């Protein structure tokens, strides 16, 4: 189950990265590169944090071939895709999957609640941060006042930590659903985090 979720997360994150490259009018190499680094970036940071060196993406070839293939498919078919909406959906699903998988790694190495939440959040948002930086924009995690992102990833990771002692497969599913659902729900409900007041 873990491997299936990991591959699903890689594909959806790769799609989000490739779509971001298409919106920026990158060439085919740029779109594929953005797909790959978005797909494996957060997971690689997660692996280093929990002591898995080299990162899994470099020892499991499928984790590199999948985003390459996804990037090529998106590049070839992007004119038929609802780019903006699909980017949001792919990014949201990826956030949930990687937050849950990252938290699982934290539980497996014996991290406490905060450590598990940290590694889960980093896993969930890391790829998106790298994608935004390479796309030349301020990472969305820094200003998503009307769209929970890191907060959603942290909540999903916390669920994994709390439920793992009872059933790890259930914890992964619940964590992924909570993270993705909280992000999507925050937008639908118009929820937002506090922002600084305008200077007087």
> pLDDT of 145-184, one tens digit each?
567 889 999 999 999 999 999 999 999 999 999 999 999 9
Tell me the average pLDDT across 86-97. Answer: 88
Tell me the average pLDDT across 95-108. Answer: 94
Phi-psi region of 175 (alpha: psi -120 to 50; beta: other; left: phi over 0): alpha
Confidence of residue 7 (pLDDT cuts 50, 70, 90): confident
- Listed in sequence order, the residues at least 6 apart from 131 whose beta carbon sits closer than 8 Å to its beta carbon are 16, 17, 20, 34, 37, 38, 41
| Max avg pLDDT among 55-64, 88-97, 105-114 | 105-114
**Nearest-5° Cα angle at 162, 160 to 164:** 60
Tell me the average pLDDT across 27-32. Answer: 96
Q: How far apart, in whole angstroms, are the C-alpha atoms of residue 125 and residue 164?
A: 21
| Domain ranges, ordered by start, for the chain | 2-189
Please determine, for residue 82, whether its predicted confidence score (pLDDT) is greater than 90: no
Please determine, for residue 5, whether its predicted confidence score (pLDDT) is greater than 90: no
Q: How far apart, in whole angstroms, are the C-alpha atoms of residue 36 and residue 13?
A: 9
Q: How far apart, in whole angstroms, are the C-alpha atoms of residue 144 and residue 110?
A: 31
What is the average pLDDT score of the chain? Answer: 90
At residue 28, the pLDDT reads: 95
User: pTM of the full predicted structure?
Assistant: 0.88
Please determine, for residue 2, whether its predicted confidence score (pLDDT) is greater than 80: no
Please determine, for residue 84, whether its predicted confidence score (pLDDT) is greater than 90: no
Sign of the Cα pseudo-torsion (59, 140, 19, 177, in order): positive
């Amino acid at each position: 189950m873990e491997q299936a979720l990991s591959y699903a997360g890689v594909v959806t994150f790769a799609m989000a990265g490739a779509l971001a490259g298409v919106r920026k009018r990158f060439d085919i190499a740029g779109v594929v590169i953005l797909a790959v680094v978005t797909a494996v970036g957060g997971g690689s940071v997660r692996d280093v944090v929990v002591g898995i060196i080299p990162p899994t993406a470099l020892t499991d070839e499928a984790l590199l071939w999948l985003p390459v293939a996804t990037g090529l498919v998106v590049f070839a078919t992007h004119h038929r895709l609802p780019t903006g909406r699909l980017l949001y959906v792919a990014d949201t699903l990826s956030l949930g999957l990687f937050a849950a998988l990252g938290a699982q790694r934290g539980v497996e190495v014996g991290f406490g609640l905060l450590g598990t939440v940290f590694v889960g959040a980093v896993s969930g948002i890391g790829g998106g941060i790298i994608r935004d930086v390479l796309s030349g924009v301020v990472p969305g995690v820094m200003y998503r006042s009307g769209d929970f992102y890191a907060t959603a990833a942290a909540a999903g990771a916390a669920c994994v930590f709390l439920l793992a002692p009872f059933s790890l497969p259930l914890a992964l599913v619940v964590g992924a659903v909570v993270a993705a659902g909280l992000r999507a729900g925050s937008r639908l409900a118009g929820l937002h985090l506090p922002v600084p007041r305008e200077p007087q």
